[in-house]
Chain A
Amino acid sequence: MAESPLAETAVAQPAIGMGEDLVEVKNLKVHFPIRRGLIIERTLGWVHAVDGISFTIKKGETLGLVGESGCGKTTTGRAIMQLEKPTAGEVLFEGRDLVTMPKEDLRQNRRRIQMIFQDPFASLDPRMTVGGIISEPLEIHQLLNPKEREEKVRELLRIVGLNPYFVNRYPHEFSGGQRQRIGVARSLVLDPEFIVCDEPISALDVSIQAQLINLLEELQDQFGLTYLFIAHDLAVVRHISSRIAVMYVGKIMELADRNELYDLPLHPYTKALLSAVPIPDPVIEKQRHRIIMQGDVPNPANPPSGCRFHTRCPFAKPECSEDEPPLEEVRPNHFVACFFWKEISERTAPPLAVN
């Protein structure tokens, strides 16, 4: 405890990617219309789900994307996949913009970008066999002959820790953890380079979550995968990510390397978020000072003016509701969108006890 938090971060640096940018998101915006009326539809307003965010994902790394429900993290993942059409901005994959790319090029590139979905009960077609689910992308892209496809499916089942004899079974015969393994196998069948993991473990039980986390880490090492890991569980995100971006009502509030973000959070929202997570250690829990934020997350259809967080920020000043703070690099690789991060940090202790 006596040691300064700055000294702690200098010790252990996480595994960072090779330095080469694989994905670059530039000023991405996704707005959804709010429509009323049956025959004549009128647009009453817009939900600003993602409202101008930029970040890069380096080859071989895992970028964690955290935030509360409705902050736009899932929409960001879907917009990168081009499952949601961005209202504005660019999504560069190896330097080429997926948003403006011709359809056929996009289809070819989709092979290299895959997604693992949150709900293993909703994301697998109940009327298809496991083999059918896993090999469907191969059929769509007309790769391999039927015999090779079957071999590939068996190999993938082995890789994700399922029995290869399961090919002819149906999803309902499996538990949640096993279904999620099927989802992982399906995402791997086209040998992708980049996988968007959208809350891949939040539907699973605690003892099963660790199995999936370990599997995702092993696959990353084995195939050199790059992940965008979307989650709300801050402990899991710290464990799996190399860098982490914190989102709030459509904006990125803070982005830093994993230990830097958790040991030295600079944005008041990140501080409050980290201090809210219960730690499974009664000794630490007794000593912790918790920042209890007032109120609820604002409605993204009517986001607050200026800084999105000013309505709940315990340190807000009048200028916070007028101007929007830009996301600026304030320490090496540490970006914060707050006008007063410096004085706030001097006044508050880091929210997690430093061992």
Chain B
Amino acid sequence: MEPLLEVKGLRTEFPTREGVVHAVNGISYTVMPGEAVGIVGESGCGKSISALSIINLVPKPGRIAAGEVLFEGKNLLTYTDEEIRKVRGNDIAIIFQDAMTSLNPVLTVLTQLTEPLVLHMGMDMAGAERRAVEIMEMVEIPFARTRIRDYPHNFSGGMRQRVMIAMALTCDPKLVICDEPTTALDVTIQAQILDLLNRLRQDLAMAVIMITHDLGIVAGLCDRINVMYAGYIVEKATTEALFANPRHPYTLGLLRSIPRINQSRRVKLIPIDGFPPDLTQVGGASCPFQPRCVYPVERCEAENPPLDPVEEDHWAACWVDVYAEAGKERVNG
């Protein structure tokens, strides 16, 4: 099967007065049709910018400095504004974290849902309205027929996020990018939205890129995961392999630092010391995680490790055999 999306050596940077912010530093990954790929990392690791780069929505003064984004084999980065606009919302849709700021507050949901149907699909208004109500029902908004005439502020946070999902689905996209879609929601509402996304993904056979900081969300939803740190993908694996056998010290550190809700024994958390680097300072020779790493070797300072395969379908950017090092700790203590 041909990949749906192939990101190759993508590099996005922001020139600022304090220097160039290296937000995305040459990342590569693929998304197969119908697949759910997670991108996890903390704030400022470049996960959102890497996704915005795919559909050329990088905010000014940001620019894509290098790389290719192949969607069904065609490089989106060479598209004109007019051409990329046809792809956005049509083949690739995006769901943002904050539905209140992403929806237009002075237009009814009806207007906002029918606009892409008229513009992209060439429907007439009556047909577009019928389709819009159908989509509202698909995302399980009660009383869709009447509620479609409401404004965004008339909806609760969870319902507003459903409207966002409805907007993303209007033109039957092949790929939906979800940028922290549930971070602003309560946990019971988050469960509703994730459940809905999972069912829609299976029913509509669409691929999903799930951007989040929550390892629990990707564990339940994604087939494969990319872990990002300081603009690099530091580990890439199937979901099972990543959690069972993390090969990058950052991934291992994240998994050790989160308390487990299903653990009755009270164990001390092992935090990752220090804090994430200044992105104007990364992109040099050394490994960006080296100052916070618990397994540093001399080479880490001189050479940034490439993302190399460690086993089948599993890549990590580290000079050290983390699996062996973590194993030693288990034996010793």
Contacts and interface: CB of A to CB of B under 8 A. Distances in A.
B270 A210 contact: yes
Interface in A210-234: 210-211, 213-214, 217, 232, 234
A279 B260 contact: yes
Interface in B26-46: 42-43
A130 B216 CA distance: 36
Interface in B175-199: 186-192, 194-195
Interface residues of A, number: 56
For B191, B253, B264, which residue has the most chain A Cβ atoms within 10 angstroms?
B264
Interface string A221-265: 000000000001011101110000000000000000001001100
Contacts of A211: 271, 273
B240 interface: yes
Contacts of B215: 206, 280
Interface string B206-229: 000000011111011000000000
Interface string B142-163: 0000000000000011110000
Contacts of A279: 216, 219-220, 260-262
A128 B213 CA distance: 33
Interface in B241-281: 243-244, 253-255, 257-266, 268-273, 275-276
B275 A280 contact: no
Contacts of B255: 280
Interface of A: 8-9, 11-12, 14-15, 68-69, 175, 177-178, 205-211, 213-214, 217, 232, 234-236, 238-240, 259, 262-263, 272-286, 290, 292-294, 296-297, 352-355
B261 A235 contact: yes
Closest 10 CB pairs of A and B: A278-B216, A239-B259, A210-B271, A276-B191, A210-B257, A280-B215, A285-B220, A235-B261, A68-B186, A207-B272
A206 B265 contact: no
B162 to A, nearest CB: 11
B239 interface: yes
A210 B217 CA distance: 19
A239 B269 contact: yes
A12 B271 contact: no
Contacts of B159: 296
Nearest to B273: A211
Interface residues of B, number: 47
Nearest to B250: A207
A297 B240 CA distance: 34
A272 B188 CA distance: 7
Contacts of B192: 292-294
Nearest to A66: B187
Nearest to B142: A295
Contacts of A292: 191-192, 195
B188 A276 contact: yes
A114 B266 CA distance: 26
B99 to A, nearest CB: 14
Nearest to B214: A278
B217 A278 contact: yes
Given A280-B258, A292-B195, A69 B186 contact: yes
A214 B269 contact: yes
B187 A273 contact: yes
B275 A282 contact: no
Contacts of A273: 187-188
Given A207-B271, A211-B271, A278 B188 contact: no
Contacts of B191: 275-276, 278, 290, 292-293
A238 B259 contact: yes
A331 B270 CA distance: 34
B195 A12 contact: no
B216 A277 contact: yes
Given A238-B261, A292-B195, A293-B188, A210 B272 contact: yes
A8 B159 CA distance: 39
Nearest to A290: B191
A205 B213 contact: yes
Given A206-B42, A236-B259, A282-B243, A214 B187 contact: no
A213 B259 contact: yes
Contacts of B271: 207-211, 214
B195 A282 contact: no
A8 B244 CA distance: 25
B261 A262 contact: yes
A15 B192 CA distance: 35
A82 B240 CA distance: 49
Contacts of A8: 264
Contact of B261 (A69, A274, A283, A296): A274
A353 B262 CA distance: 7
A293 B263 CA distance: 24
Question: A238, A259, A262: which has the most chain B beta carbons within 10 Å?
Answer: A238
Nearest to B238: A282
A205 B276 contact: yes
A234 B253 CA distance: 20
A296 B215 CA distance: 25
Contact of B254 (A207, A290, A354): A207
12 contacts: A206-B257, A206-B258, A207-B253, A207-B272, A208-B271, A211-B271, A235-B260, A239-B260, A274-B261, A280-B258, A282-B219, A286-B220
A234 B276 CA distance: 25
Contacts of B263: 238, 355
- Specify which of A69, A210, A214, A292 lies most central, judged by the most chain B CB atoms within 10 Å of its CB: A210
A263 B270 contact: no
A15 B273 CA distance: 27
A274 B216 CA distance: 13
Contacts of A214: 268-269, 271
